[in-house]
Amino acid sequence: MSTSILKILCLFYVAQNFVSADLALNSRCRTAENLPGICVEIRKCKPVMDTIAAGTVHSNKPTVCSQQEQTVCCPTQSPLSVRSSVDRAAAARNEENEATKVKESEKDELEEMPLRDAPERISERKCREYGQNVFHTIRIAPTLIGGKPREIRVDKCKHKQVALIVGGTEAKPFEFPHQGLVGYGRRNNLKFFCGCTLVSPRFAMTAAHCLEKATNSRILKPKAVKLGSISRDGDNDRTVIVDIVEIFKYDHYIANRTTVMGDIALLKLAEEVTLNEFILPICLPTKQHEDERGIVTGFGKTQNGEIANNLMKVTLERFSHSRCQELWNNKIIDSNANLCYGHHTEMKDSCNGDSGGPLLVSNANKVSCTYTQIGIVSFGLNKCGTIGFPGVYVNVYNYLDWIEGIVWKDEE
């Protein structure tokens, strides 16, 4: 490992006291000298690299934007006020030259990742905040006599985001730490008929049609949410079951022969669950997603027609709205409220029992150990896994204002 690389790594240990916030790449920031700057990769910030090369990083600690992403606050304005008029002119020319170089070499990159002038949504901030719960602080003993121990943060996430139920495969333990099950009936004998996702320490999200389940003798209501398990019937030492104390069904939920709209509900839990790498809220979409592929997870019927006891996962393909509406010619598919995913060439689909569960994509902000939920399993054909025919999902982004207004109503 080169000396310069070692110095860069050292920077992210010695500069911990200078972290301004967990800022995203290309965010505006302030340097330690209170100069305006922008968050960039450390290797792309010449002033900081010059400091490292000169060996003065300890006395000129830069502001770190994100230790995880190894980005720093790179000044966009030099401290001209302390220079002579000659220095100012030279500095201006240098800055102009540097700006030209950046513009030419990184024009495409900057266009793809523009400065974020819009206010950050609370769901985006909470996503990043919850993601910190998978990091553990570890003390490392000194290697030299008389040296001081140091602390490092270690990512304890139990999975890596990989886009790998009918046609699916079993999920690995804690691969989807947001996944939950909705329990019905008596507290000591719960039956789990629907899926859900944890969206905050106090709220889970599911489908509105999961708020009533008809049995041979009666209509059952949701009573509790089960988290931290990939088994419908089995538990482990990480499993928690939390009572539901309040239910929020979307006001304009409609379900009839011609349409299903607003098929979304929030379940308030009796207490906040402890967040860690085993139980972690999902991130919500802060923009409209049109990903060509998404992952669906659930405990529904498998290819052999049996209800799955273990959590299953499957990767599906997006169908355009026009094609989806053409296939579902007996129902109205709303282009804003719904998403359509299935498979064009294989028997892959969500199925009975998956309702209320998530349609996921990789997290665009690279928040550790989580995904972004773009959809909720709503409805599909009775014959699951029909090739070339998509299931219909709630478009979560369309209901983001409603979700934020309930889940974080006291924090905005």
Distance CA 330, CA 51 (A): 67
Which residue do the tokens 């974080």 mark? 408
Element of type H or E holding 243: strand 240-249
> Which two three-digit tokens encode residue 407?
């889940």
Indicate if 209 belongs to the active site. Answer: yes
Indicate if 410 belongs to the active site. Answer: no
The length of the chain, given as a count of residues: 412
Q: Which residues pair with 394 in a beta bridge?
A: 338, 376
What's the Cα-to-Cα distance from 101 to each of 96, 111, 257, rounded to whole Å?
Answer: 9, 15, 61
Handedness of CA 117, 119, 121, 125 (dihedral sign): positive
Distance CA 110, CA 103 (A): 9
Q: Which member of 263, 291, 349, 354 is catalytic?
A: 263
Q: How many C-beta atoms surround the C-beta of residue 255 within 10 A?
A: 14
> Which two three-digit tokens encode residue 340?
């359509």
> Which two three-digit tokens encode residue 107?
């024009």
Distance CA 192, CA 118 (A): 41
Which residue do the tokens 């100069």 mark? 35
* Residue 291 and residue 318 in contact, taking contact as beta carbons nearer than 8 Å: yes
Q: How many C-beta atoms surround the C-beta of residue 43 within 10 A?
A: 14
* Residue 49 and residue 42 in contact, taking contact as beta carbons nearer than 8 Å: yes
Q: Which member of 209, 289, 350, 354 is catalytic?
A: 209
Q: Which residues pair with 259 in a beta bridge?
A: 332
Distance CA 412, CA 187 (A): 34
> Amino acid identity of 329?
N
Strands (E), 95-239: 135-140, 150-155, 169-170, 179-184, 191-198, 203-206, 213-214, 219-220, 222-227
Q: Which member of 66, 200, 229, 355 is catalytic?
A: 355
Distance CA 130, CA 120 (A): 16
* Residue 20 and residue 30 in contact, taking contact as beta carbons nearer than 8 Å: yes
* Residue 342 and residue 319 in contact, taking contact as beta carbons nearer than 8 Å: yes
Active site residue ranges: 209, 263, 355
